Amino acid sequence: MVNIVSNEGAKVWIPHPEKVWEGAELQEDYKPNKTTLNVITDEKENKILNVKSEKDLPFLRNPAILIGENDLTSLSYLHEPAVLYNLQVRFCQHRDIYTYCGIVLVAINPYDDLPIYGQAMGDLDPHIFAVAEEAYTKLEREQRDQSIIVSGESGAGKTVSAKYAMRYFATVGGSATETQNRKEGLGQ
């Protein structure tokens, strides 16, 4: 994605050897004939970026009001640093491990037992139960098989996610069967 707005004062992401990305602010307007761009990082360090063409311009940061959105598609700028930062803010500040990206649910492995698999859950909150519920509702409404694809690297949490999806199905499916059994038991 090429950033179009590159004026002095623009908030950007620049590569960092350890943090991967760090926040910075342009100290001058970008002009096509320039090959460098002065920035000042959030740590107040002056840096000079090599900019041979528009393609080398740093990624623009999203406005602060959008940070922490529960759906990545709501972000004005959707690129690697924007995605990572949004997920980081949600997880580190609010312990939210789930974030939507459209119909995809992104899950961060918290390596911790969080109290997020109980009953209380907002309708719009991204959650593995919400994904399972959507599949189950469509299964019933459309009478067609549904698939949930769980992917990620080793240790990412695929088995645990699948387990919670199965727990949801067992709960809603189980209660329907129990209701049916009860009805049959009552001769209904």
Ligand X SMILES: Nc1ncnc2c1ncn2[C@@H]1O[C@H](COP(=O)(O)OP(=O)(O)OP(=O)(O)O)[C@@H](O)[C@H]1O
Least Å distance, CB 65 to ligand X, is 29
Least Å distance, CB 175 to ligand X, is 23
Should residue 151 be labelled a site residue for ligand X when binding is judged by CB under 6 A? no
**CB distance 67 to 85 below 8 Å:** yes
Q: Which two tokens stand for residue 15?
A: 């590569």
Distance CA 108, CA 98 (A): 7
Contacts of 185 (CB under 8 A, 6+ apart): none
Q: Choose one: 8-16, 18-26, 70-78, 150-158; the region binding ligand X (CB under 6 A).
A: 150-158
14/156 with CB nearer ligand X: 156
Choose, by CB under 6 A, the member of 53, 119, 147, 154 that binds ligand X.
154
Largest CA distance in the chain: 84
Helix H or strand E encompassing 76: none
Type of residue found at 161: S
Q: Is 20 helix (H, G, I), strand (E, B) or coil?
A: strand
Q: How far is CA 184 from the centre of its chain?
A: 45
Q: Choose one: 9-17, 88-96, 154-162, 172-180; the region binding ligand X (CB under 6 A).
A: 154-162
Choose, by CB under 6 A, the member of 14, 89, 135, 160 that binds ligand X.
160
Q: Choose one: 8-16, 40-48, 67-75, 148-156; the region binding ligand X (CB under 6 A).
A: 148-156
Whether residue 122 is annotated as binding a ligand: the answer is no
Residues of this chain that interact with ligand X (CB under 6 A) are 109-113, 152, 154-160
